[in-house]
Amino acid sequence: MTPGQAFLWVLAIIALGFCFRKGPAAAHRAGVDAAKNLLKILPLFAVALPMAAFLAELIPADAAVAWIGPDSGFKGIAIGSVAGGLMPGGPFVTFPLVLAFAKAGAGVPQMVALVSGWCIFALHRIITWEYPVLGWRFVALRMISGLPLPIAAGLISELVVEVLPISLGVR
């Protein structure tokens, strides 16, 4: 178990402890809730992980270098931001895919832009959740105020990478 996983388990056990203090019913509801969500996620994992693995094999080793490689600069950061917003699905889909990009030679600032762009713009999430629940005015507010952020994040991390040896911890 990695330190990050251990930390997460400690947090989970502490939170469950607080639930028990509130009452066994609350703890039981939490357990049922977690189990239901696991059952919802497992089918997605079953298709998303093979997809990412197949794509990682299909994408040539240096395919991403020209577009979002470490030397692609501002252009690569802009491409990463837009491509991130177009990536479909939740984290169980996106992160394995991002891993495939990383293996294909993407640069660190470009990956920061890609991940941030996916977080902020996620088109599928706007269509299926944000617009129906909150309306287009909220979408517009959030999109306009968030527009420069993925590119800004990419540019800042380009400065960071020049000073610190940040690497992608690809397994």
Partner 1 sequence: MLHGRRASRRPDRTLPVPAPRRSLPAVTAFLRRHASLLVIAAISVAAGVALWRRDGGDAVGRALYHAWELFLFIMPSLLAGLLLAAALRQLMSPGALGRWMGADSGWMGLLVATIAGSLTPGGPMAAFPLVLVLAGAGADRGALVAYIMSWTLNGFQRVLVYELPLLGPNFAIMRVLITLPMPLLAGWVARRLPIAWEPPK
Kindly identify the residues of this chain, within the stretch 40-79, that bind partner 1 according to CB under 8 A.
Answer: 41, 43-45, 47-58
The answer to whether 92 contacts partner 1 (rule: CB under 8 A) is: yes
Return d(Cα 31, Cα 114) in angstroms, integer. Answer: 34
Q: Given the complex with partner 1, which of 1 and 71 has the nearer CB atom?
A: 1
Return d(Cα 1, Cα 100) in angstroms, integer. Answer: 23
Smallest CA-to-CA distance from 92 within 48, 40, 33, 35 is with 48
Return d(Cα 59, Cα 18) in angstroms, integer. Answer: 47
Quick one: which segment of 64-72, 78-86, 112-120 binds partner 1 (CB under 8 A)?
112-120
- Min CB(145)–partner 1 separation in Å: 4
DSSP result, 125-155: HIIIIIHHHH-HHHHHHHHHHHTTHHHHHHH
- Within residues 137-166, the interface with partner 1 by CB under 8 A covers 137-138, 140-142, 144-146, 149, 152-153, 156-157, 160, 164, 166
The answer to whether 12 contacts partner 1 (rule: CB under 8 A) is: yes
Q: Given the complex with partner 1, which of 66 and 141 has the nearer CB atom?
A: 141
Q: Assess contact for 107 and 69: CB atoms under 8 A.
A: yes
Question: What are the residues whose beta carbons fall under 8 Å from the beta carbon of 150, sequence distance 6 or more?
Answer: 77, 80, 81, 84, 85, 113, 116, 117, 119, 120, 121
- Min CB(130)–partner 1 separation in Å: 6
- Min CB(66)–partner 1 separation in Å: 21
Quick one: which segment of 60-68, 70-78, 79-87, 106-114 binds partner 1 (CB under 8 A)?
106-114
- Within residues 116-135, the interface with partner 1 by CB under 8 A covers 116, 119-120, 122, 124-125, 127-135
